[in-house]
Amino acid sequence: MSKVAVFMADGCEEIEGLTVVDILRRAGIKIDMLSIGDNLNVTGSHGIQFRADYLMTDKNSDDYDGVILPGGMPGTTSLENNTLVQSALRKQFSAGKLIAAICAAPSILGKNGMANGKKVTSYPGFEEAFSKATYVTDPVVTDGNVITSRGMGTAIDFALAILKYLKGEDAACEMAKKIIYNQ
């Protein structure tokens, strides 16, 4: 069974993080919400409060098959400036494991060279982070082990792309039917 982590920071875009958690859990994938802060309570960019499963400091990122970065501001800046997040990303990338980022968060991958030579997308206005990548405006882009997406309106597509990566096309199609998506 696949096991992934979503890094939650105060100021994250709630829909981008929680939609992925919801859909992957419905599909039977173990997904842990890891707070990058010093407590489990996270407040999203629109004031919605939720509780992460664990503190990032209590988990070893090596134990995950992939990591997911929701966007939003200032959540993306907090992810980018967190040394544990940066270390986890480098380890995951070096191991060829899944790295998925949505909205502003793909810019972190661009700034760290993890998008180099890859086809990627992000929220409009972050294109400058991808000087060594092929930037497109598709809603979701999968290139090898890197999945990127545009923003809140693409959160379901993003989650389904992650599901497809982890469990295959049939699982993603079945989930889309279950949630009555694009019928």
Examine the residue annotation and report whether 103 is marked as an active-site residue of this protein: yes
Phi/psi for 34 (5° steps) reads: -110, 120
Catalytic-labelled residue, pool 12, 24, 79, 103: 103
74: preceding bond cis by omega (within 30 degrees): yes
104-107 own/partner pairs: CB under 8 Å, 24+ apart: 104/71, 104/72, 104/73, 104/76, 105/69, 105/70, 105/71, 105/76, 105/79, 106/69, 106/71, 106/130, 106/148, 106/149, 107/76, 107/80
Among residues 163, 180, 128, which one has the least CA distance to residue 26? 163
Output the CA torsion sign for 39, 40, 46, 47: negative
Task: Find out whether 56 and 90 touch, Cβ atoms under 8 Å.
Answer: no
Task: Find out whether 127 and 115 touch, Cβ atoms under 8 Å.
Answer: no
Tokens 């972190």, located at residue = 108
Q: Which residues are tagged catalytic? A: 103
